[in-house]
Amino acid sequence: MTELKNDRFLRALLREPVDVTPVWMMRQAGRYLPEYRASRERAGDFMGLCGNPDMACEVTLQPLERYPLDAAILFSDILTIPDAMGLGLYFEAGEGPKFRKPVRTEADIRALKVTDPNTDLSYVVDAVKTIRRELNGRVPLIGFSGSPWTLATYMIEGGSSRDFRRAKQMLYNQPELMHQLLDVLARSVIAYLNAQIRAGAQAVQIFDTWGGALSHSAYQEFSLRYLQQIAHGLLREHEGRRVPLILFTKGGGQWLELMADTGAEALGLDWTTDIGQARARVGTRVALQGNMDPTILYAKPERIRAEVGAILNAYGQGSGHVFNLGHGITPEVDPEHAGAFIRAVHDLSSQYHE
């Protein structure tokens, strides 16, 4: 195995000393980059990019050619698992993801099987291997999956939703059926992430994008419990190194202590939480990732730099912070502003490290 030339991302996740605060951006390979839009055009569509390991590798590396990022993230989507379960994922221009066959009935759910990553999702496993080879130790590669609850919302609603009416109906009217769905998903996520780790992913992140739509008690019963199951089922060491797990529940700022109890190495924060207060609450149990409001990237570079400075100052001295946006970068952002953001993190953070 090639030696890692820049491991400050992995070190920060394990709260080990670093020279400067590492930084990457959720959705860093995406539509704000003209070179991404050109690759997508060549592939035909978004799923054409995800399904072709060479093209997935190409777009994964694009933001790293432009910016001094400290990690690469596999280019794929969280909805590959439901697609592999036979739901028929497709994207309609401007409308986001859709499923041809959403799960709505007890029979639909009882018929679902745990996905085998090495057959149904082999294109993702191959993409991870290709990206690792092409990265050649430049920076670590992050693998990822959606959380069972977040995947369940898309599977039941048949796409994006504002109020999760059908999913909540099932959760409250047929909790046992919902648990059956979440359990099949949790076992699929474990197999999927372990396959990504074996193929070369050096850290993994779970996107619980819609966990924050749940009530305090429903979050624990229907999302957190499955994040815990996954944390216990994952390979935690590979190639002689710890493989850190990052949990990101958007809107989950009030549950950080509970999330830290799962055994994950790090928690992702959205921008509604003060990172200094979050650090005081979780102590040395976990590292923190985040958490600049992605819309600040619409502001001028001086304002972006000031915000980066304020977040670094709020986190304070020492390791355990991976800088990121509080959610994905949006398609309308000027790539120059993304560059100003990344440079500011490295420039302004050395004073917080010995």
Question: What is the amino acid identity at position 202?
Answer: Q
Instruction: Provide, rounded to whole angstroms, the least separation between the CB of residue 77 and ligand CP3.
Output: 5
- Residue 35 DSSP SS3: helix
Out of 34, 44, 68, 96, point to the residue binding ligand CP3 (CB under 6 A): 96
- The reply to whether 120 belongs to the active site is no
Binding mask 55-84 for ligand CP3 (x = CB under 6 A): ------------------x-x-xxx-----
Which is nearest to 82 in space by CA: 188, 163, 230? 188
Question: Alpha-carbon distance 329 to 83, whole Å?
Answer: 25
Yes or no: say if 319 and 17 are a contact pair by the CB < 8 Å rule. yes
- The reply to whether 279 belongs to the active site is no
Binding range to ligand CP3, per CB under 6 A, among 22-30, 109-117, 229-237, 276-284:
22-30
Which is nearest to 78 in space by CA: 126, 35, 113, 46? 46
Q: 121 to each of 107, 211, 214, 228, how far by Cα in Å?
A: 24, 25, 29, 23
Complex with ligand CP3: residue 297 or 348, whichever CB lies closer: 297
The neighbour count for residue 258, using CB atoms within 10 Å, is 16
Binding mask 151-190 for ligand CP3 (x = CB under 6 A): ---------x------------------------------
Out of 15, 27, 98, 279, point to the residue binding ligand CP3 (CB under 6 A): 27
Number of residues that bind ligand CP3 (CB under 6 A): 21
Complex with ligand CP3: residue 203 or 348, whichever CB lies closer: 203
Peptide bond into 291 cis (omega under 30): yes
- Options 31, 104, 166, 198, the catalytic residue: 31
DSSP 23: B
Residue 204 as a binder of ligand CP3 (CB under 6 A): the answer is: no
- The reply to whether 77 belongs to the active site is yes
Q: Which two tokens mark 178?
A: 């919902």
Yes or no: say if 24 and 9 are a contact pair by the CB < 8 Å rule. yes
Out of 9, 32, 67, 144, point to the residue binding ligand CP3 (CB under 6 A): 144
Instruction: Provide, rounded to whole angstroms, the least separation between the CB of residue 244 and ligand CP3.
Output: 16
Instruction: Provide, rounded to whole angstroms, the least separation between the CB of residue 318 and ligand CP3.
Output: 27
Which is nearest to 123 in space by CA: 56, 64, 201? 56
Out of 6, 35, 46, 313, point to the residue binding ligand CP3 (CB under 6 A): 46
Question: Alpha-carbon distance 179 to 149, whole Å?
Answer: 10
- Active site (catalytic) residues: 27, 31, 40, 77, 154
Which residues are at the interface with ligand CP3 (CB under 6 A)?
26-31, 40, 46, 73, 75, 77-79, 96-97, 144, 160, 207, 209, 250, 328
